[in-house]
C-alpha cells in the first residue's frame, strides 16, 4: 500500500507498506544485501527485490545490476517498461540512459504518465550521491547501489560534489572504512537530505543547487524544464515556503513560470484604473510590509483620487506582480540576489511581462523604477519620476506631483468601490473566468490584508494572508459553483480531513493548495484546501486529499 507523505513538485515522499513491513521513499536498494530494509539479490531466476528479507518480485537479468556491463543493442531496449509488481514500475535499461540526458528524461516522464502516481518508479544502475537529488526531482522513487559499488571496486568515492579517487580523500578513509561502505553511507546521507527537502517543500531549490555537480545533471534539469513544463506543473503546489532564486534555472522553475503565465492570462485591471504605476520590488516580502513600499503607499494616500492608479511591481523572476496579487505564492515567498545587473534572459522576460500588462488599455504609464528603468524604457514609453533612488525625497516628491496632476483629470472613484473591484480581480485570478461572481451583491469589510467578502450578514470568503488566497465558506463555494474545482465523495459524513480513499472523482486541474468544493450527491458538502493534485486524489488510496475547513451534514 502506497501513502503519500509529502510532495515538492514532481519529487515526493511516500510510505510503502507490504505484509506488515514499511519503508519510506525515496529509498535505496542495497545490492547483495547490507544495512537497510530494501535489497537486490542476484538469484538463478534473475534479480530479486527484497523488503526486510522477503522477496517482493523477480526481474529478468538485463546486465544492469552488478556486474555492470553494457550490451550491444541495449540502447534500443531503453524504454519504459512496467514491472509485474502492482506497486513498482521499473525503467528498464536505465543505466544505458546515463549517456543521454534527453532520452532518460523523456523515458521517466513517459513511464510516470503511463503508470500514474500510485506506483513507485525504480531506476536501476543510475544513482550516486551527486545525482540522487535530480533523479528524485525527475520522479524516481527507488534506486540501488550498483553504480556506487562498481565505483568503489575501481577505487573511487561518489560524493555529492562528484566522483573522486579514494586515495585522494584521506579525511574520509582515515578511520579504515572501505570504499563500498563509504559510498553507501554518502548515498544514504544524501537521500536523508532529499527527504528533508521534500518535506520542507524546497526540493526544486535543492535540485538547482545539486545539478551543477555534472553536465548530465544540468542537461537533465534544463530539458525537464524546457520540454516538460506541463508534466511538472500538474504536480506543483499553489502554495509553498520561502525559497531562493539563485540560479539561471530559477527563471523557469514551474511555480514561477506558472505565475507569469497566469498573470498574463487571468489578471485584468479594474475598469476605473487608468494610470499604470511601475515600481521596483523589495527585499522584504510581502511587499506592503517593506519600508520602500510603505513610502510608495504613503504617496498614494496623499494623492486625491489615487484609486485610478494600478500599482505594478517589476521584479525578477516573476516579471510583474499586480499589487492585488502580492500575497499569492510565489510573490510573497521568493528571494533573489540583488546586484543591479540583469542578464538578457531576465531583461527579455520582464519586458514581455510589462508589455503584456501595459496592453490592457491605460491612459498613462509612470516609471518609478531604479536599475530596471533603462530596461523598461527600451520597450515602453512613460513618465519617469525617479531621480536615482526611487525612495529619495526628490523622487517621491516628483511622483506625488505627477500623480496629483494626472489623477485630477478623472472623476472621483469611491474607495469602497475600488476595494470591491480589486477583490473582484483577485477572485477572477484565483478561480478563473466566472470567479468574479463571488462579488455579486457583496461588499468588503475589514482592512487589508484581512478583508472579508460579505453578502448581507453572511460571509462568503476571506482574503487569507497566510495562504495569500481567498478562503471560502460553503456559501461562497455555492456562489461560484460553475467554476470552482470540485472533489466528489460518496454518501458519508465528513469528519475532519478528507482522505484519498474517500474520493470518488476529482477535477484533474486541481493543484495542491487549491480552494475546492467537496460535492456529495450534487450539492456542496464542504469546502477546503487540496493537499494533493486532482489526479493523485483519484489514483492514490491513502493520504490526506483535502484539508476540510467548513462542512455540512
pLDDT at position 340, please?
78
Distance of CA 350 to the CA centre of its chain: 20
The answer to whether residue 349 sits within a structural domain is yes
Q: In whole angstroms, how far apart are CA 319 and each of 326, 365, 378, 416, 419? A: 13, 17, 15, 29, 24
pLDDT at position 61, please?
54
- For residues 208 and 265, membership in a common domain is answered with no
The answer to whether residue 276 sits within a structural domain is yes
> 188, 203, 233: which is the final residue of a domain?
233
Question: What is the CB-side half-sphere exposure of residue 30 using CA atoms within 13 A?
Answer: 16
pLDDT at position 69, please?
36
- For residues 196 and 289, membership in a common domain is answered with no
Q: Which long-range contacts (CB under 8 A, 24 or more apart) does 12-20 make?
A: 12/141, 12/198, 12/235, 13/195, 13/198, 13/199, 14/120, 14/141, 16/87, 16/120, 18/51, 18/56, 18/87, 19/51, 19/54
- For residues 49 and 133, membership in a common domain is answered with yes
The answer to whether residue 479 sits within a structural domain is no
Contact by Cβ (8 Å): 454, 461 = no
Would residue 4 be called left, alpha or beta, if left means φ above 0 and alpha means ψ between -120 and 50 degrees? beta
CATH number at residue 308: 3.40.50.10630
- Spatial CB neighbours of 416, under 8 Å, sequence gap ≥ 6: 443, 444
- For residues 211 and 251, membership in a common domain is answered with no
The answer to whether residue 461 sits within a structural domain is yes
Distance CA 20, CA 481 (A): 43
Distance CA 22, CA 51 (A): 8
CATH number at residue 458: 3.10.450.90
- For residues 398 and 428, membership in a common domain is answered with no
Q: Which three cell numbers stand for residue 373?
A: 528603468
The answer to whether residue 408 sits within a structural domain is no
Distance CA 491, CA 501 (A): 13
Closest Cα partner for 479 from 446, 520, 429, 524?
A: 524
Supply the range of the domain harboring residue 517: 484-553
Pure H helices in 228-308: 229-233, 254-266, 291-302
> 233, 253, 273: which is the final residue of a domain?
233
- Spatial CB neighbours of 360, under 8 Å, sequence gap ≥ 6: 268, 269
- For residues 541 and 425, membership in a common domain is answered with no
The answer to whether residue 409 sits within a structural domain is no
CATH number at residue 549: 2.30.130.10
The answer to whether residue 215 sits within a structural domain is yes
The answer to whether residue 238 sits within a structural domain is no
Question: SS3 for 471?
Answer: strand
Residue 170, classified by CB atoms within 10 Å of its CB into exposed (0-12), middle (13-18) or buried (19+), is exposed
pLDDT at position 200, please?
97
- For residues 225 and 293, membership in a common domain is answered with no
Sign of the dihedral through C-alpha 541, 510, 136, 86: positive
- CA-CA-CA-CA dihedral for 294, 295, 296, 301, to nearest 10: 80
- Spatial CB neighbours of 241, under 8 Å, sequence gap ≥ 6: 200, 201, 202, 333
What pairing do the DSSP bridges indicate for beta strands 2-8 and 11-18? antiparallel
- Spatial CB neighbours of 280, under 8 Å, sequence gap ≥ 6: 292, 313, 314, 315, 368, 369, 370, 371, 372, 390
Closest Cα partner for 449 from 324, 331, 333?
A: 324
- For residues 188 and 105, membership in a common domain is answered with yes
- Spatial CB neighbours of 106, under 8 Å, sequence gap ≥ 6: 227
**Edge-to-edge strands, sheet with 383-384:** 319-322, 309-315, 275-280, 364-367, 383-384
Q: What is the reported pTM?
A: 0.92
Sign of the dihedral through C-alpha 507, 511, 512, 517: negative
> 233, 256, 280: which is the final residue of a domain?
233
- For residues 169 and 316, membership in a common domain is answered with no
- For residues 331 and 418, membership in a common domain is answered with no
Count structural domains, the chain: 4
Contact by Cβ (8 Å): 382, 362 = no
- CA-CA-CA-CA dihedral for 104, 107, 109, 113, to nearest 10: -160
pLDDT at position 71, please?
35
- For residues 10 and 112, membership in a common domain is answered with yes
- For residues 182 and 87, membership in a common domain is answered with yes
Beta bridge partners of 55: 50
Contact by Cβ (8 Å): 279, 369 = yes
Question: SS3 for 57?
Answer: strand
Question: SS3 for 432?
Answer: coil
> pLDDT tens for residues 217-227?
999 999 999 99
Give mean pLDDT in consecutive 10-residue pieces for the chain, a chain of 553 residues. 93 91 93 84 78 80 42 36 69 79 94 92 93 97 94 91 83 72 94 97 96 94 97 96 92 96 95 97 95 97 97 96 97 90 92 96 97 94 94 97 97 96 96 95 94 95 92 97 97 93 96 97 96 95 94 82
Amino acid at each position: 500500500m502506497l501513502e503519500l507523505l509529502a510532495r515538492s513538485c514532481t519529487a515526493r515522499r511516500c510510505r510503502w507498506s507490504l505484509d506488515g513491513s514499511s519503508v519510506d521513499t525515496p529509498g535505496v536498494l542495497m545490492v547483495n544485501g547490507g544495512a537497510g530494509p530494501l535489497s537486490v539479490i542476484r538469484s538463478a531466476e534473475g534479480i530479486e527485490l527484497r523488503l526486510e528479507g522477503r522477496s517482493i518480485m523477480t526481474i529478468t537479468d538485463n546486465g544492469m545490476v552488478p556486474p555492470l556491463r553494457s550490451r550491444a543493442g541495449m540502447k534500443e531496449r531503453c524504454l519504459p517498461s512496467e514491472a509485474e509488481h502492482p506497486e513498482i514500475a521499473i525503467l528498464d535499461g536505465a543505466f544505458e540512459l546515463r549517456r543521454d540526458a534527453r532520452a532518460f528524461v523523456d523515458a521517466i516522464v513517459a513511464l510516470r504518465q503511463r503508470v500514474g502516481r500510485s506506483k513507485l518508479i525504480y531506476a536501476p544502475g543510475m544513482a550516486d550521491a551527486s545525482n540522487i537529488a535530480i533523479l528524485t526531482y525527475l520522479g524516481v522513487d527507488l534506486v540501488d547501489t550498483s553504480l556506487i559499488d562498481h565505483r568503489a571496486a575501481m577505487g573511487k568515492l561518489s560524493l555529492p560534489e562528484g566522483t573522486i579517487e579514494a586515495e585522494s580523500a584521506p579525511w574520509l578513509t582515515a578511520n579504515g572504512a572501505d570504499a563500498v561502505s563509504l559510498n553507501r553511507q554518502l548515498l544514504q546521507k544524501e537521500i536523508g537530505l532529499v527527504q528533508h527537502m521534500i518535506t520542507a517543500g524546497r526540493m526544486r531549490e535543492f535540485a538547482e543547487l545539486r545539478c551543477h555537480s555534472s553536465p548530465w545533471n544540468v542537461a537533465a534539469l534544463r530539458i525537464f524544464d524546457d520540454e516538460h513544463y506541463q508534466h511538472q506543473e500538474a504536480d506543483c503546489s499553489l502554495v509553498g515556503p520561502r525559497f531562493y532564486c539563485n540560479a539561471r534555472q530559477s527563471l523557469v522553475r514551474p511555480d514561477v513560470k506558472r505565475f507569469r503565465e497566469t498573470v498574463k492570462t487571468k489578471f485584468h485591471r479594474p475598469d476605473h484604473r487608468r494610470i499604470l504605476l511601475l515600481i521596483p520590488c523589495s527585499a522584504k516580502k510581502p511587499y506592503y510590509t517593506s519600508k520602500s513600499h510603505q513610502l510608495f503607499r504613503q504617496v498614494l494616500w496623499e494623492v486625491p483620487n489615487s484609486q485610478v492608479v494600478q500599482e505594478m511591481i517589476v521584479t525578477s523572476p516573476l516579471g510583474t506582480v499586480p499589487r492585488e496579487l502580492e500575497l499569492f505564492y510565489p510573490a510573497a515567498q521568493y528571494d533573489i540576489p540583488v546586484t543591479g545587473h540583469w542578464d538578457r534572459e531576465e531583461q527579455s522576460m520582464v519586458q514581455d511581462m510589462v508589455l503584456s500588462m501595459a496592453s490592457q488599455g491605460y491612459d498613462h504609464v509612470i516609471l518609478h523604477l531604479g536599475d530596471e528603468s533603462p530596461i523598461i524604457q527600451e520597450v515602453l514609453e512613460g513618465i519617469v519620476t525617479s531621480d536615482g533612488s526611487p525612495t529619495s525625497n526628490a523622487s517621491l516628491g516628483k511622483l506625488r506631483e505627477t500623480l496629483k496632476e494626472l489623477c485630477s483629470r478623472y472623476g472621483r472613484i469611491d474607495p469602497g468601490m475600488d476595494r470591491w473591484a480589486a477583490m473582484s480581480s483577485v477572485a477572477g485570478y484565483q478561480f478563473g473566468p466566472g470567479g468574479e461572481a463571488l462579488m455579486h451583491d457583496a461588499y468588503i469589510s475589514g482592512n487589508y490584508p484581512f478583508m472579508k467578502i460579505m453578502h448581507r450578514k453572511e460571509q462568503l470568503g476571506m482574503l487569507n494572508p497566510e495562504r495569500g488566497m481567498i478562503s471560502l465558506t460553503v456559501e461562497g463555494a455555492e456562489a461560484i459553483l460553475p467554476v470552482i474545482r470540485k472533489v466528489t465523495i460518496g454518501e458519508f459524513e465528513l469528519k475532519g480531513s478528507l482522505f484519498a480513499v474517500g474520493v470518488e472523482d476529482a477535477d484533474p486541474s486541481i493543484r495542491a493548495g487549491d480552494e475546492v468544493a467537496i460535492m456529495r450527491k450534487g450539492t456542496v458538502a464542504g469546502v477546503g484546501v487540496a493537499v494533493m493534485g486532482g489526479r493523485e486524489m483519484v489514483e492514490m488510496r491513502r493520504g490526506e486529499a483535502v484539508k476540510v475547513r467548513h462542512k455540512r451534514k
